[in-house]
Amino acid sequence: MRPPLPERIRPRSLDEVVGQDELKRRLGRLIERGTPASMILWGPPGSGKTTIARLLAEAFRLPFVALSAVEAGVKEIKALAERTGKEGPILLFFDEIHRLNKAQQDYLLPHVEAGRFVLVGATTENPSFSVIPALRSRAPVYVLRPLTKEEVLTLLRRALAHPEGLPGVEAEEEALELLADAAAGDARRALLALELAAELGGGRVSLEAAKEALGRENLVMDKGGDAFFDLISALHKSVRGSHADAALYYLARMLEGGADPLYVARRLVRMAAEDVGLADPLALRVALAAKEAYEFLGSPEGELALAEATLYLALAPKSNRVYRAFEEARRAVRAHPAAPVPLHLRNAPTGLMKALGYGKGYAYYHDDPEGSFAQAYLPEGLEELSFFEPGDEGWEKKAKARWEELKRRFEEARKRRATK
């Protein structure tokens, strides 16, 4: 079976690694000295951690052994240590090292100290919180940053020209731009999407093929193989329908299936604004706090904050009146894109503007509430437009009473002004 594109065009030297220039300089000096050293590589997915570990193993002529902390523990570490005791040291690449518990890290430590393992740990989480101090003191932390869009574009173009990549495949520049944008700094994601787009486009990467590839790449996010977008739709509709159990179920399905928790957090923020709205203004703050909590804690602890926000949104009173009002306002703007702002509402920072009447006659509410209510705010000819119609759910019921009272006062003030 043919290896995937990222594997086929994996760099053969540090010079071929795209991005991470400062880290490459430091590692280059380490290689020149000829003394292997343990380290922890901290960076986002697709930033080059595995590639760098492989290149270090080749540079120091050490066997490369990869373990994942999701599957490996003390048993696997012990077996490796016994093997290296007979065969000599290895470069041990420990992926997701932050998932090793303290006891497992303690067991790993003496083998690093004894030189049986040259440890290269990879983590997407802050090692200050997840890796024990003793291990960090023997394996200094190097930070990798997400690749820039231009760096991802460089990789995509290299893949098209590489003899083991996609030689002969043509790509539209717009398609490459889209893939680079969507990758969000993740080289592996960009390359996999490029390969899929080439397959879908019959050997040509068009904009349409790139869009389809990005959709399919993110489609299967759960162990049962259900569509990603079906799951996020089910989560959103369960929250909207106030079914707390279903909302929690679909949240768990997505997170267990590998969905990006921050993507889910962003969707929860959207639900708070779209489906809860002013029925409970606190909902938006809860959703944003959950996003912040996840960014601070990471997985799995931060996922509990997403569950709390999901339950809060599902149980909250619902209103889409803000969403509907904003859509109505947008339609009005499209219908009247250049309606002039009333002169009394315009900014007048210069003498010329004041001479032209900008700001003239503006009634400042705190000095003249009556005049403020009587003046026009919408452009001429659009004064009768109405967008916001509050409902009777939760806090919005109070907003409804307040808005109706304000509209009554507007009308009365305008009538009084008209009779003067």
Q: Which CATH class is domain 228-315?
A: mainly alpha
Per CATH, the number for 166-217 is 1.10.8
User: What's the CA gap between 339 and 379, in Å, rounded?
Assistant: 6
Q: Which residues of the chain have pLDDT under 70?
A: 1, 216-229
Strand pairing report for 117-123 and 39-42 = parallel
Sheet strands side by side (includes 39-42): 64-68, 90-95, 117-123, 39-42, 141-143
In the chain, the N- to C-terminal Cα span, in Å, equals 87
20-143: CATH class: alpha beta
Angstrom distances, CA of residue 172 to CA of 30, 32, 130, 194, 248: 41, 41, 43, 11, 42
User: What does the domain layout of the chain look like in residue ranges?
Assistant: 20-143, 166-217, 228-315, 340-419
For residue 221, give the H/E element and its range.
none
pTM: 0.52
The type of residue at 73 is G
What was the pLDDT predicted at 228?
65
Q: What is the pLDDT of residue 227?
A: 53
At 219 the pLDDT is 40
User: From residue 122, how far is each of 5, 17, 242, 316, 382 by CA, in Å?
Assistant: 22, 17, 41, 41, 60
CA distance 25 to 343: 61
